[in-house]
Amino acid sequence: MARNGLSSRILQFLDPDERRRAGVQSPFQRLALRMQDVSGDGGVLKDLVHGGEGQLCPRNATVFVHFSGYLEYSDRPFETSAHFKYPQMMKLGTDVTLPGLELALLTMKSGEFSRFLLLPKYAYGDMGCPPLIPPSALLLYEVHLHDFLDSAEAEDFFALSPEEQNSAPLSAVLSVVNTERRLGNHCFNQKHYQDAKDRYKKAVTLLRNREPVGDEERQSIAETKLPILLNLSLTLLRLCKPHRALEFGQKALEIDPQNTKALFRCAQACLETNDYEKAQDFLLMAQAKKPFDSDINNLLKKLASSYKDSVDKEKEMCSKMFAHFTAASKK
């Protein structure tokens, strides 16, 4: 029971003036007492639940975030990303529309979980957003910032001319490539394979267009390119493009002819195109490197089964053709 014998269920039907006359504070008002003002005018308040690591999220970053928004006296969120298996990928300045939520994210570090109270002017204003958000609503957001990427750096880099890109320090190029790779990985994990493919290809193109200066730079580019080629090959397999998957798997083998993952990707692609002989060659080379690898051995079993099915179908087709030929010759 609240003060003066009024329960919280009853209090939710009283307007703020009536609550003040009753001498009680609302749940959000009580929560605000222990929160920090991060907007400078009391419009966005923060309660740090679990700290993060590293630097603060920069402006125009791409964030990977789970969040839920609540109205006062409501046990269920009016919006949430909790039903998504993976964090939402959102671009600050574009995808995050509430100014208070964007400001909140700029105060957070990677891995952090915090709660934020947003005054109406930092949320949906005096009009609200009917029917979900009433006029002049104070909102509570629970935000888990899983990670973020300074994607603005990559966007600025892609705005440069090819000559300017090639004259930039290699460290800048590799930073942009790493950003595109991580964005591609996130898209892949969410099964957005076309988006993942586009990210990986942008990264590969950057590295391919780079003119290395000396053996050390050439080696650094090759080492960075290898895992992206492997990711791209797998993504193309998911997109049912085995011929393209084989192409990028072979490019990976040009960098490291003994790479087990590259051999495995090539075998997968060959199996998809029913090139059983090549698939077996790639798998046997991979198995020689990792004889007890379950993925390799399971694919060998699948290869044997697929080859047997193919031979059986061919025998059946030949048998039918021969039977038809025999019947025709007897007439």
For the stretch 226-279, pLDDT in tens is 999 999 999 999 999 999 999 999 999 999 999 999 999 999 999 999 999 999
Cα separation, 145 vs 90, in Å, equals: 11
Higher pLDDT, 101 or 94: 101
- Amino acid letter for position 58: P
Q: Give Cβ neighbours of residue 294 (< 8 Å, ≥ 6 apart).
A: none
Structure confidence at residue 7 (pLDDT): 46
Structure confidence at residue 24 (pLDDT): 67
Tell me the pLDDT band of 14, cut-offs 50, 70 and 90.
very low
* Least confident range of 97-111, 227-241, 260-274, 294-308: 294-308
Question: Taking a C-beta distance cutoff of 8 angstroms, is the pair 292, 323 a contact?
Answer: no
β-bridge pairing 53-56 and 113-118: unpaired
Q: How crowded is residue 234: how many other Cβ atoms within 10 Å of its Cβ?
A: 22
Question: Taking a C-beta distance cutoff of 8 angstroms, is the pair 192, 86 a contact?
Answer: no
Structure confidence at residue 40 (pLDDT): 93
DSSP letter (8 states) at residue 58: P
The verdict on whether omega for the bond into residue 131 sits within 30 degrees of 0, i.e. cis, is yes
Q: Give Cβ neighbours of residue 51 (< 8 Å, ≥ 6 apart).
A: 109, 111, 112
Q: In the predicted model, is pLDDT for residue 219 greater than 60? A: yes
Residue 190, CA distances (Å) to 96, 146, 172 in order: 19, 15, 28
Q: In the predicted model, is pLDDT for residue 8 greater than 50? A: no
DSSP letter (8 states) at residue 233: H
Structure confidence at residue 323 (pLDDT): 56
Q: How crowded is residue 157: how many other Cβ atoms within 10 Å of its Cβ?
A: 19
Q: Which two tokens stand for residue 136?
A: 């002049």
